[in-house]
Structure 1
């Protein structure tokens, strides 16, 4: 479970996240939507303690991220697929991460196979395509076999087969009872992958609903998104 309680973040005069509250629960893929600059990436960073909130707080399974002694066992995240050392092999990159959380090398081999990188696991990451780096980032998120997973634009750089693969992976992880928070700007993918939707605009909550409820009220999820974010005001319908 991910819970945000009146989360606010200011950078000088800029209000990036504005009194934001929502929940992402287990057993569902929760889509996290908003225009560029809406505060999605900042929100994910605040959840993971990479930035300090100005006020409010975010909890993962009832606790702040900073309280976990072995955080990879509690939550896995992919925020930036390019944040890897290009001179390391995929295997060694994951092994370095694994050792920080008392995860054995067998698990490294397992997740490389799970994301389809076992053949190139000993090759340097610097030669990887963006899609391969996305898969490696997903492998890193899965290392600790956590109950909570967060992904920021995970389909970037993936070919159509890769997009179908990530769609199936998200659904299968949710079916296992995990909490999945998926940030994306691709409405078509959200319609096919997510069950619940959280939309923000200008750092504020615009809508919190199921995909079924939104598509019942609008011709499509994209129409709902466009209508709701156009005004960036609190959505007074389904919550």
Structure 2
């Protein structure tokens, strides 16, 4: 389980995340939904220990990320697409991660097959398109076979087939009992992928609810999101798939 309690992050006079509290439970896909600039990425960085909160705390499995004994085996994360040495092959990048995380090297070929990169495993990762880089990032997140996954905008750069693939993958991983937190500003994609939603706006939690509950009044998810955030631009972008 992922838990945040009173997370707050300021950059100068700007409050990026404002007393944010939530729990993400295993067994379902939780969508972390909000307009661009709403604080989603900053929150994920605090969950991963990359940014220090000004107040509050975050835990994964009851511990701060920095205190996890085998972090790559416990948490898989995709926060940016191109977090690899461009001169390394896809297989070489994953093999280095496996060695550093004391992960069985046989997992490298398993995850390359899972994400559809087995046929290009020997190519330099720096030559990959954005969509292929996203797939490599997802492979890295899956490498340690973790129980918790945090993915920030994972469908960026993917074609429609790739978007369907990531949707099915996330739902299958949740069905195995894993904790899956999926950040996105794409409302229509969250409607198809997520079971539960954390809606954020200007760094504050606006809703912690299921997709079914949010749309129970007969409104579409786009309409419900717009009513919560008051962000017409985000509404239009999210609805125009």
Summarize the alignment of residues 82-121 of structure 1 with structure 2, pairs less than 5 Å apart: 82-121=82-121
SS in 2 for 1:123: coil
In the alignment, structure 1 residue 10 sits paired with structure 2 residue 16: no
Cα distance in 1 for residues equivalent to 2:154 and 2:25? 20
2:44 alignment counterpart: 44
In the alignment, structure 1 residue 176 sits paired with structure 2 residue 176: yes
1:135 alignment counterpart: 135
Does the 8 Å contact 1:218/1:224 carry over to 2? no
1:235 alignment counterpart: none
Does the 8 Å contact 1:17/1:202 carry over to 2? yes
Cα distance, 1:162 vs structure 2: 0.6
Normalising by the residue count of structure 2, what TM-score does the alignment of the two structures yield? 0.94
Summarize the alignment of residues 72-221 of structure 1 with structure 2, pairs less than 5 Å apart: 72-221=72-221
1:35 alignment counterpart: 35
Cα distance in 1 for residues equivalent to 2:227 and 2:69? 43
Moved more, 96-105 or 36-45: 96-105
Aligned residues: 231
Does the 8 Å contact 1:85/1:93 carry over to 2? yes
Cα distance, 1:69 vs structure 2: 2.3
Does the 8 Å contact 1:10/1:16 carry over to 2? yes
Normalising by the residue count of structure 1, what TM-score does the alignment of the two structures yield? 0.95
The runs of 5 or more residues in structure 2 that have no matched partner are 232-241
Cα distance in 1 for residues equivalent to 2:218 and 2:55? 34
Pairwise CA RMSD:
0.9
Cα distance in 1 for residues equivalent to 2:8 and 2:152? 20
The runs of 5 or more residues in structure 1 that have no matched partner are 232-239
